[in-house]
Chains A and B, each alone.
Chain A
Amino acid sequence: SAVISQKPSRDICQRGTSLTIQCQVDSQVTMMFWYRQQPGQSLTLIATANQGSEATYESGFVIDKFPISRPNLTFSTLTVSNMSPEDSSIYLCSAFTGTSGTSYNEQFFGPGTRLTVL
């Protein structure tokens, strides 16, 4: 299993500023992901954080807006840049520890970062 922590747990930010969210896993993991959950919505995958290389972004998300780093196998950051009220969401870090696609005990989530942009 893996225990994931995120910092900050919540923040209130002004329009036009940027926020960096940190994700720390207590063990080395195969893959790390960043999700966004807008109010009342399901989870939307932003990107897969790749260790030592550029993240792989999903359709609708770009590096300039959501730069991601993953310097090692246990840590990743997501920056929400030039924020607007539409960026108000919960941002969730997730880690995958296995090698197959179906084992239940391989995907874990952090507690989330609740972001409000004024």
Chain B
Amino acid sequence: AQKITQTQPGMFVQEKEAVTLDCTYDTSDPSYGLFWYKQPSSGEMIFLIYQGSYDQQNATEGRYSLNFQKARKSANLVISASQLGDSAMYFCAMREVGSYIPTFGRGTSLIVHP
């Protein structure tokens, strides 16, 4: 069964607008971590934001915030004030406690229009 689901293969947003990228996950482990990575066309994987399963507050890092809804098992990434440089693939990933290996979703391609 797929552990990480990203249902949006592609998203478009106008520059300076906010956009939400969806991610749902499946685990029976009470302790886990959720990650978002950005992959521009150059291919490198850039870590954006992390949410621990026991964190009480939603994670934020600059223009990135994570809308964590534990009961729904969702961890959506919100990018505020989109910039042209935000155009990239975005991957959601989860790592369960005791595992060194994260599971990645299929990714969402984001295109920011001027």
In the docked arrangement, what's the CA distance between A81 and B42, Å?
A: 24
Q: Which of A42, A102, A109, A112 has the most chain B CB atoms closer than 10 A to its own CB?
A: A102
A42–B43 CB distance below 8 A: no
A42–B44 CB distance below 8 A: no
Given contacts A42-B91, A42-B104, A43-B91, contact A102 B45 (CB under 8 A): no
Q: B residues within 8 A CB of A109?
A: 37, 44-45, 47
Name B residues whose Cβ lies closer than 8 Å to a Cβ of A.
31-33, 35, 37, 42-45, 47, 50, 52-53, 91, 95-102, 104-107
B47–A108 CB distance below 8 A: yes
Residue A100 interfacial (CB < 8 Å)? yes
Q: Distance in Å from the Cβ of A35 to the closest Cβ of chain B?
A: 9
Given contacts A43-B91, A101-B96, A101-B98, contact A111 B33 (CB under 8 A): no
Closest to A106 in B: B100
- Indicate the size class of the contact surface on chain A: 20 to 34
In the docked arrangement, what's the CA distance between A101 and B52, Å?
A: 11
A107–B102 CB distance below 8 A: yes
A104–B101 CB distance below 8 A: no
A112–B43 CB distance below 8 A: yes
A30–B100 CB distance below 8 A: yes
Closest to A110 in B: B44
**Partner of A43 from B31, B52, B98, B104 at Cβ < 8 Å:** B104
